[in-house]
């Protein structure tokens, strides 16, 4: 048995069967590259679903992690720590929100946003508990907790996991008419991804987010933007909402906030919403711990100082053009923004999975999402040369070999 096969076997025997990973076992990473246990090198074009925007083991982030680990790692929120204040202030000043509430995983931050919206709905808007509704969209992905899957439109995510949390209403993504029709006095909030990543990098029609914001204002509802995947530079701006100059009432961040080394998430909001929380109403043992705060601060510094959003805008636009120029006979559409790119495989060419396997065999790691879509989302520290090297390989796999020279 190969080394790889042994690791796969062990993980399959002792692990739960809740993932279907590509059969590659990684043991080292640096920048945009990872190496498997057989010594093969791969270009990482998934970036842990955008949790690795700063690349693998960014030296500055690792240094922050190690230095903090040698000083103080965990206090709980029963006490203050000397990293939390600086982190919150850095995050607020960068994003322009008055307050931040740190959590750990993305799903926890989404839950926090839902709790904030519900409490605001009752305390500020005066909507009775049983009436309050949050509008969400078909194809949404906001995490895996029981409340969050309660409003998933994906049967696989829900089947067998009920009873579900009430108080959510689904409308088609990108459909303003439907949204307008669904909004009422009961609507306390709209929860939306500015681009749906897990649904297959689904980009709404131009002006959508701006119109959603306007509808929210009209109905006195909060706009909750889930930018856990699209935020922190991925789409070519700090937030995908920035493309339409939309400022949500609650911004939800995660993934790249932890710089690829540690789970850190947060919600951002102004006093009017954040002040619904009082001591005891919400919390997390690990949320805002000094290790997380030190790592997140370094992650934000790298994002800003290495101009990762600008890089994503420039390289993403170019790379998307190059992918379209391949004119692959198996590709229906190339879509996305910045370095969040979806290549949609024509249904008559079969599912996307075998294409991802073929890419893997040739040293490129990408993962299919929702059967037909290959997501290309490399770390934002990637260079044009590194992407250039990937193009002939992608061309070959998509059935349109480039002539040499
Ligand atoms: C990944 C993701 C989440 C969930 O984050 P976890 O850290 O896996 O809990 C929520 N929303 C969006 C848009 C995501 O991409």
Kindly give the distance from the C-alpha atom of residue 140 to the centroid of ligand 1, in angstroms, as a whole number.
11
Tell me whether residue 211 is exposed, middle or buried, using C-beta atoms within 10 angstroms of its C-beta: 0 to 12, 13 to 18, 19 or more. Answer: middle
Give the length of the chain.
405
- In short, whether 105's Cβ falls inside 6 Å of ligand 1 is yes
Q: How many Å apart are CA 241 and CA 19, to the nearest integer?
A: 31
Q: How does residue 365 score in pLDDT terms, banded at 50, 70 and 90?
A: very high
From 109, 141, 154, give the residue whose CB has the most ligand 1 atoms within 8 Å, as the site to mutate.
Answer: 141
Task: Please give the number of the atom of ligand 1 that sits closest to the Cα of 226.
Answer: 13
Segment 32-38 mean pLDDT: 98
- In short, whether 226's Cβ falls inside 6 Å of ligand 1 is yes
Residue 26 has a CB neighbour count (10 Å cut-off) of 15
pLDDT at 403 over 70: no
Kindly list the structural domains of the chain, giving each domain's residue range(s) and its CATH number in brackets, ordered by start. 4-54+307-397 (3.90.1150.10), 59-305 (3.40.640.10)
In the sheet that 222-226 helps form, which strands lie side by side, from edge to edge? Answer: 99-103, 265-269, 250-253, 222-226, 187-192, 133-137, 168-171
Pair type for strands 222-226 and 373-376 = unpaired
Q: How many Å apart are CA 24 and CA 202, to the nearest integer?
A: 28
Nearest-CA neighbor of 384 among 300, 322, 303, 327?
322
pLDDT at 404 over 60: no
pLDDT at 390 over 50: yes
Residue 22's SS3 state is: coil
Segment 350-372 mean pLDDT: 96
Locate 49 and state its tokens.
């679903």
Residue 197 has a CB neighbour count (10 Å cut-off) of 26
Locate 394 and state its tokens.
């992608």
- In short, whether 143's Cβ falls inside 6 Å of ligand 1 is yes
From 229, 241, 252, 369, give the residue whose CB has the most ligand 1 atoms within 8 Å, as the site to mutate.
Answer: 229
Q: How many Å apart are CA 313 and CA 340, to the nearest integer?
A: 10
- In short, whether 253's Cβ falls inside 6 Å of ligand 1 is no
Cite the active site residues.
141, 226, 255
Q: For 114-166, what is each residue's pLDDT tens digit?
A: 999 999 999 999 999 999 999 999 999 999 999 999 999 999 999 999 999 99
Q: For 198-208, what is each residue's pLDDT tens digit?
A: 999 999 999 99
What global pTM score does this model have?
A: 0.97
The pLDDT > 90 percentage for the chain reads: 97
From 107, 137, 203, 241, give the residue whose CB has the most ligand 1 atoms within 8 Å, as the site to mutate.
Answer: 107
- In short, whether 196's Cβ falls inside 6 Å of ligand 1 is no
Pair type for strands 187-192 and 133-137 = parallel
Phi and psi at 298, nearest 5°, equal: -65, -40
Task: Please give the number of the atom of ligand 1 that sits closest to the Cα of 254.
Answer: 7
Q: How many Å apart are CA 257 and CA 252, to the nearest integer?
A: 11
- In short, whether 95's Cβ falls inside 6 Å of ligand 1 is no
Q: How many Å apart are CA 27 and CA 33, to the nearest integer?
A: 11
Nearest-CA neighbor of 256 among 346, 347, 379, 151?
379
The one-character DSSP state at 43 is: E
pLDDT at residue 405 in the model: 40
Q: For 97-115, what is each residue's pLDDT tens digit?
A: 999 999 999 999 999 999 9
Pair type for strands 340-345 and 331-337 = antiparallel
Task: Please give the number of the atom of ligand 1 that sits closest to the Cα of 263.
Answer: 7
Inter-CA distances, 11 with 7, 19, 21, 48, Å: 6, 11, 11, 19
Q: For 255-308, what is each residue's pLDDT tens digit?
A: 999 999 999 999 999 999 999 999 999 999 999 999 999 999 999 999 999 999
Q: How many Å apart are CA 268 and CA 248, to the nearest integer?
A: 9
Crossing angle of helices 384-397 and 308-325, in 10° steps, is 30
Kindly give the distance from the C-alpha atom of residue 386 to the centroid of ligand 1, in angstroms, as a whole number.
27
Task: Please give the number of the atom of ligand 1 that sits closest to the Cα of 255.
Answer: 7
E strand or H helix that includes residue 166: none
pLDDT at 20 over 70: yes
- In short, whether 193's Cβ falls inside 6 Å of ligand 1 is yes
The C-alpha torsion from 17 through 256 and 241 to 118, rounded to 10°, is: 60
pLDDT at 402 over 80: no
Provide CB contacts within 8 A for 358, sequence distance 6+: 397
pLDDT at residue 25 in the model: 98
Q: How does residue 53 score in pLDDT terms, banded at 50, 70 and 90?
A: very high
Locate 238 and state its tokens.
């700090």
Task: Please give the number of the atom of ligand 1 that sits closest to the Cα of 143.
Answer: 4
Segment 374-393 mean pLDDT: 98
- In short, whether 106's Cβ falls inside 6 Å of ligand 1 is yes
């Amino acid at each position: 048995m190969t080394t790889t096969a042994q690791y796969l076997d062990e993980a399959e025997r002792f692990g739960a069967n809740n993932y279907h990973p590509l059969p590659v076992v990684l043991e080292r990473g640096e920048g945009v590259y990872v190496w498997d246990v057989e010594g093969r090198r791969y270009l990482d074009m998934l970036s842990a679903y955008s949790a690795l925007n700063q690349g693998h083991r960014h030296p500055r982030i690792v240094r922050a992690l190690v230095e903090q680990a040698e000083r103080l790692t965990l206090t709980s929120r029963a006490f203050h720590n000397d990293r939390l204040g600086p982190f919150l202030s850095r995050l607020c000043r960068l994003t322009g929100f008055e307050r931040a509430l740190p959590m750990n995983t993305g799903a926890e931050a989404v839950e926090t946003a839902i709790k904030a919206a519900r409490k605001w709905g009752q305390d500020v808007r005066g909507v009775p508990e049983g009436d309050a509704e949050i509008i969400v969209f078909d194809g949404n992905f906001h995490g895996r907790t029981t409340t969050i899957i309660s409003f998933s439109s994906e049967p696989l995510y829900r089947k067998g996991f009920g009873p579900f949390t009430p108080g959510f209403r689904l409308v088609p993504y990108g459909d303003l008419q439907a949204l307008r029709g669904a909004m009422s006095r009961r609507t306390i909030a709209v929860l939306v991804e500015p681009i749906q990543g897990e649904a297959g990098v689904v980009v709404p029609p131009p002006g959508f987010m701006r119109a959603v914001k306007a509808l929210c204002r009209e109905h006195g509802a909060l706009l909750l933007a889930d930018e856990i995947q699209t935020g922190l530079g991925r789409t070519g701006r700090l937030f995908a909402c920035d493309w339409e100059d939309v400022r949500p009432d609650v911004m939800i961040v995660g993934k790249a906030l932890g710089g690829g080394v540690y789970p850190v998430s947060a919600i951002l909001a102004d006093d009017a919403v954040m002040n619904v929380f009082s001591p005891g109403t919400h919390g997390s043992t690990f949320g805002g711990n000094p290790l997380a705060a030190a790592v997140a601060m370094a992650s934000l510094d790298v994002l800003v100082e290495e101009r990762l959003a600008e890089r994503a805008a420039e390289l993403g636009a170019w790379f998307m053009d190059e992918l379209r120029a391949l004119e692959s006979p198996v590709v229906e559409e190339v879509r996305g923004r910045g370095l969040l790119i979806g290549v949609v495989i024509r249904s008559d060419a079969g599912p996307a999975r075998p294409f991802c396997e073929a890419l893997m065999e040739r040293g490129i790691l990408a993962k299919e999402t929702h059967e037909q879509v290959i997501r290309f989302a490399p770390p934002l520290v990637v260079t044009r040369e590194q992407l250039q090297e990937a193009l002939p390989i992608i061309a070959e796999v998509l059935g349109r070999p480039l002539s040499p020279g």
